[in-house]
Amino acid sequence: MCFPVCGMYVDTVLLSENLTQSCTLSERDFAVLWRYMEEDMSVDAVAGSEGGVERAIGLALLEKDADATAQLSSEVENILAFVSEVQSVEAGEVEQDGGAVNVFRDDVVTVEAEKYREGMLAQAPASFKRWFLSKKIL
């Protein structure tokens, strides 16, 4: 079964030297990919289906033991109670405007990525040629 490699995390993942090529997936890997796509390619699948703060801990890609989770959940719930005061602000009639933005800037990317490539790769935990290396995703 052939399936095109999506752009997902393509900058951080070494799949092959030619990332635009199709690759062959096993039936099992295809099922994993399909499930991931069905779930809007979000990290919700990783976060689990619990509600509230525990789910948010998963969405933040943090892993805590039971005690630390309980402590963090309690603190975050207190913060959420604190910020819920925002509901009392009467803001319905306020129109959105641009604020202090530069509307005259050319829409071009001026960062010279190539200039810093070597320095950045040298500091990566793992790299290969001109890519960052991570564990296999699929």
Partner 1 sequence: MQYEETTARDMRGLLDTGKVSAADLLREARRVIAEKDGAVKAFVEVFASADEDAMRADTMLKDGQMMPFTGIPIAIKDNICISSQCVTAASKMLEGFVSPYDATVIAHLREQGAVLVGRTNLDEFAMGSSTERSMYGTTYNPHDTTRVSGGSSGGSAAAVAMGAVPLALGSDTGGSIRQPASFCGVVGLKPTYGTVSRHGLIALGSSLDVIGPLGRDVDDVQLLFEVLRGESTQYDSTVGVFAEVGQAGVPEKVIGVPDTLSSVGLSEETLRAFSITLDRMKEKGYIVREVSLPIMEKAGAIYYIIQPAEASSNLARFDGVRYGHHEDGADVWGDYMQTRSGGFGEEVSRRIVVGSYVLSAGYYDAYYKKAVAARRAMRQAFLEVLQDVSVLAMPTTLDVAFVEGAIQDPIAMYAEDRLTLQANLTGLPAISVPMLVDGLPRGVQFVGGYNSEPVLFSCARDVA
Question: Could you give the 3-state DSSP secondary structure of residue 133?
Answer: coil
Which of these segments, 16-24, 29-37, 53-61, binds partner 1 (CB under 8 A)? 53-61
Of residues 9 through 48, those in contact with partner 1 by CB under 8 A are 12, 46
Cβ atoms of residues 48 and 55 within 8 Å: yes
CB of 54 to partner 1, least distance (A): 10
Q: In the chain, count H helices and then E strands.
A: 5, 4
66 binds partner 1 (CB under 8 A): no
Under the binding rule (CB under 8 A), the answer on residue 72 touching partner 1 is yes
Q: What is the rounded distance in angstroms from the CA atom of residue 2 to the CA atom of residue 89? A: 54
Give the span between the Cα atoms of 106 and 137, in whole angstroms.
37
Supply the minimum distance, in Å, between the C-beta of residue 121 and partner 1: 9
Please, what sign has the CA dihedral across residues 91, 96, 97, 98? positive
**Applying CB under 8 A, does 55 fall inside the site for partner 1?**
yes
Residue numbers at the binding site for partner 1 (CB under 8 A)? 12, 46, 52-53, 55-57, 59-64, 72, 75-76, 78-80, 82-92, 94-97, 99-102, 104-105, 109-111, 115-116, 119-120, 123-126, 132-137
